Structure 1
Amino acid sequence: MYKLVTCDMDETLLSDDRIITPKTVAAIKAASAQGVYFVPNTGRNFLTIQDNLATLGLKQQKGQYVISFNGGAIVENAGPKVLTTQALDFEIAKKLWQLGMDRGYCVHVYTVDKLYIWNPSQTDAAYLTGRVAGWELPQEAIDILATTPIVKVLYEVLDEQKRLEVKVTVNAEIDASLNITFSSDRYVEFNDQAATKGAAVLKLGEMLGIKREEIIAIGDNGNDLSMIEACGLGVSMANGRDFLKAKAQYVTQNDNNHDGVAEVIEKFILNPAD
């Protein structure tokens, strides 16, 4: 019996129009009514998905949770209250920032409550609009955050081959153990090695007394791989990347625009005998 569903947001739970479809909302609410936790597991800041939580009836709910920043934080929805963080060492974050700036990438730096963007691009702004609001565009260098925990750094790199090359370059030039992942077919994301979506959901499961075999993980891209591999049932969306589908135990018939998440919940939680 599955007791927790953890789910990526963009290109998984959200349609390309950036909404949660009505059928998926109904399925999640039905599972929640049965006592099943529904835990968004996103690379984004938890503050950016509050409207989505409201749609699902989970906003400001005690005993309900979000995993944010690719596992960099576990947050209780009531408050919201940050329960755990896994920050980057500042000197490592600074090296990542400098490398991205030197190469002219659009660079995001995430603290627990803010997003700072250097070298903003029109393509990045278009993607963020409707997903993220209120980012800051500092004129100063990253040193302004020297005393503020940084949970994630990312670069916008639109070409897939170049994203792969960036990963090789960072591993060669920065002497640090990092969790390097890809998301939304546009970002290379850098977290502390201990910060992964999979590790965070297992930690949350331990906090709630839920075993890994009792957890379903649903995703579509590289930063979802750790939770797909860690949980009892790893699911790739129909629109997921091929390497993720190869690791998943189940691939949905429907994509993020056609109730793929509802398909999983109905098949494995609401109607498991069907």
Structure 2
Amino acid sequence: MVYRLLALDIDGTLLNSSNRLNRQTKEAIQYAQKKGVAVTLVTERHFHSAAKVARALRLTQPIITHSGAFVSSSIDDPVYTSKIDHSVLMQLAEFLEAYPCQIQMSHERLSISNRPHQKNLIAKMTIGMNEPLFYPVTYVDSLSQYLLENYEGATDVKIKLDDQKTMNDLEKAINDYFPSLNAWRTGSDSMTLVRQGTSKFNGLLFFAGQLGIPLNEIVAVGDDLADAEMIEKCGLGVAMRNAVDEVKAKADWVTRSNNMDGVAYMVKEVFRKQIRVH
């Protein structure tokens, strides 16, 4: 089988536990590109953050960011977007403001967040969401009031709430009252919401279609539950050794961990004998 597209998650996959990109990984990505393989990133990260990794890897293709909601090479000219409508955001903001939670509504340029209930929560939110400091976050007293004055959609909404029982109740309520949204837990105290139908896999599927590359010619690599669908459905699904068990179960192959240059090892093994793609 000749593989023409390599799709890579960032956190826990390309980056090691210290959030660093190893030299061996960079060299392996260059090796794949010299073979004529298109390489893209498929990540939960915002475009600002993912684009920095793409530049470090010298990628030339658009990248799939915001959990599949924003596909682009530049912030001004996306090839695909999937945003939560403003009217739904308004209803969601009014609903969530009844709970003692931290809410962050994002799109490709910036995030809007309600003011933290705890003084140290800004740092917790920023670090917990794996975003660089140059990604603008505006804090407002009322998200619903902000949305009344600013007509815009969102690629994703992140929620943090320390109370486990209340978070469970909130997740059930969102699933019951907001059928146009897809919600999943990213931790015991955190949850991400996107427009229904938005996913890493669907973003990748659109991008591959633009290139005319079928699923069986894609290598998809990841470590988290959000990566499971693309790992299961692409031609070669690769899980990191550090991946959760459910992801490993769906993979065709489990490579070394992100701290053991797992991506570099996989690339060399898979593409070593492959002739250059034209």
Bin of the TM-score, shorter chain as denominator length:
0.7 to 0.9
Matching of residue 67 in structure 1 with residue 64 in structure 2: yes
Q: Do residues 194 (structure 1) and 197 (structure 2) align? A: yes
Map residues 145-164 of structure 1 onto 2, 5 A cutoff. Answer: 145=147, 146-156=150-160
- The question of whether the paired residues in 2 share the 8 Å contact of 1:48 and 1:132 is answered with no
Structure 2 unaligned runs (5+)?
Answer: none
Q: Which residue of 2 aligns with 1:127?
A: 128
- 8 A Cα contact 2:43 2:50, kept in partner: no
2:100/2:161 contact within 8 Å kept? no
| Cα deviation digits, residues 67-86 of structure 1 (max 9, x gap) | 01111111025x66311111
2-structure distance, mates of 1:26, 1:157: 41
Contact 1:96–1:153 (Cα < 8 Å) also in 2: no
Residue of structure 2 aligned with 1:168, choices 168, 172, 189 = 172
How far 1:93 moved relative to its partner? 2.5
Q: Give the alignment's Cα RMSD to 1 decimal.
A: 2.7
Q: Could you report, residue by residue, the CA deviation over 1:22-44 in whole angstroms, capped at 9, with x for unpaired residues?
A: 11111011101111111111112
Q: 1:136 aligns with which of 135, 138, 142?
A: 138
C-alpha contact (below 8 Å) 2:82/2:155 kept by paired residues = yes
The offset of 1:258, in angstroms, is 1.9
Deviations 1:106-160 (A, max 9, x none): 2221112112233442322333566453322223424434521211111135788
Match of residue 90 from structure 2: 94
CA distance in 2, matches of 1:265, 1:99: 46
Choose which of 247, 250, 253 in structure 2 pairs with 1:247: 250
Q: Does 1:111 align with 2:115?
A: no
The alpha-carbon deviation at position 162 of structure 1 amounts to 7.4
3-state DSSP of counterpart to 2:183? strand
Aligned in 2, Cα 1:99/1:16: closer, same or farther, shift over 3 Å? farther
- Between stretches 162-171 and 262-271, larger displacement belongs to 162-171
CA 21–152 in structure 1, closer or farther in 2 if over 3 Å, else same: same
Which AA in structure 1 matches 2:81?
T
1:17–1:101 Cα change, 3 Å? farther
Distance 1:7 1:129, change over 3 A: closer
Which residue of 234, 238, 242 maps to 2:237? 234
Task: Identify if the C-alpha distance between structure 1 residues 10 and 97 changes in structure 2 by more than 3 Å, giving closer, same or farther.
Answer: farther
In 2 relative to 1, CA 241–111 (structure 1 residues): closer, same or farther, beyond 3 Å? same
For the 8 Å contact 1:199–1:226, the answer to whether it is kept is no
Residue 40 of structure 2 corresponds to 39
How far is 1:210 from its partner? 0.5
Worse-matched range after superposition: 156-165 or 121-130: 156-165
Using the TM superposition, give the Cα deviation of residue 201 of structure 1 relative to its aligned residue in structure 2, in angstroms.
0.8
Distance 1:2 1:255, change over 3 A: same
Do the aligned partners of 1:178 and 1:193 also contact (CA within 8 Å) in 2? yes
Deviation at 1:196, TM superposition (A): 1.0
Find the aligned partners of 1:184 and 1:53 in 2 and give their Cα distance. Answer: 26
Residue 216 in structure 1 maps to residue 213 in structure 2: no
Is the Cα contact below 8 Å between 2:64 and 2:204 reproduced in 1? yes
Size of the aligned set, in residue pairs, is 266
Which 4+ runs in 1 deviate beyond 4 A? 157-166
Structure with greater Cα Rg = 2
Q: 1:85 to 1:8 in 2, by over 3 A?
A: same
Match of 2:79 in 1: 83
Partner of 2:15: 14
Deviations 1:178-222 (Å, cap 9, x if unpaired)? 222344776421111121111111111111011100111111112
| 6-15 vs 200-209, greater mean Cα deviation | 6-15
Q: Using structure 2 for the length normalisation, give the TM-score.
A: 0.84
1:179 corresponding residue in structure 2: 182
Identity %: 25
Contact 2:114 2:142 in 1 (8 A): no
Residues in 1 aligned to 2:25 and 2:226: alpha-carbon distance in whole angstroms: 22
Q: Conserved in 2, the CA contact under 8 Å of 1:18 and 1:131?
A: no
Distance 1:187 1:180 in 2: 11
